[in-house]
Amino acid sequence: QQPVQSPQAVILREGEDAVINCSSSKALYSVHWYRQKHGEAPVFLMILLKGGEQKGHEKISASFNEKKQQSSLYLTASQLSYSGTYFCGTETDSWGKLQFGAGTQVVVTP
Amino acid sequence: GAVVSQHPSRVICKSGTSVKIECRSLDFQATTMFWYRQFPKQSLMLMATSNEGSKATYEQGVEKDKFLINHASLTLSTLTVTSAHPEDSSFYICSASDRSSPLKNIQYFGAGTRLSVL
């Protein structure tokens, strides 16, 4: 079952912060975050395994609350290069199959 | 590292013809490959999972005779859309992971193939 992502879209000025949420109705083994720019392949950002970790990639970080089956992606001091569609992918077991959320379109303006 | 190459990037074909899409891992062993379909402004929908040397496992609702998947080596998987029709037009993306590595859960994506069936 597809995880639910929110918001659907967000518009930011350079330097502003944003949070993208991903929630599942099933117990999760891991959460993956990807960014896709128009017409390109999704690019892996980070993976969070169950255990409540927080990870970072540049000024992008994420948290995973396995009890609530939720993950959040934090875009801090956003840059123009952060524009794109962010997808969370969830695993319910360790076999590697991901279910992707509907995506959150992020537009960062000068 | 972890580069996945997908070809062709774009293909236009006539209705009724078959189209083959290749997905190669360039610098790692792809023990598992995944094929997704993506409609405009929508999410990636998993079509099938293939393990090297085994038959692919298809998701519910995906016709296995329509979308033939072959994963004969640790670096190459192919998706053949047989007797393509306009409703098969879509963006097809492959991904690969190395289940034998400590990073086994990470999927690395190809650049995608835009298929247009006339």
* Cα–Cα dist A16/B8, whole Å: 38
Out of A47, A96, A100, whose CB is closest to B43?
Answer: A100
Contact A100 B111 (CB under 8 A): no
What are the per-10-residue average pLDDT scores of chain B (118 residues)?
90 96 92 91 90 88 94 91 95 89 82 95
Out of A39, A96, A102, whose CB is closest to B43?
Answer: A102
DSSP annotation of B88: G
In B, which residues are within 8 Å of A97 by CB distance? 34, 46, 49
Backbone angles phi, psi at B104, to 5 degrees: -60, -25
Contact with chain B for residue A47, Cβ under 8 A: yes
* pLDDT number for residue B34: 94
User: What does the block give as tokens for B109?
Assistant: 């994506």
* pLDDT number for residue A40: 85
Residue ranges for chain A with pLDDT beneath 50: none
> Which residues lie below 8 Å from residue B117, measured CB to CB, with a gap of 6+?
B12, B13, B14, B15, B84, B85, B86, B87, B88, B89
* pLDDT number for residue A57: 64
* pLDDT number for residue B7: 96
In A, which residues are within 8 Å of B58 by CB distance? none
How is A30-44 classified by DSSP, letter by letter? EEEEEEE-TTS--EE
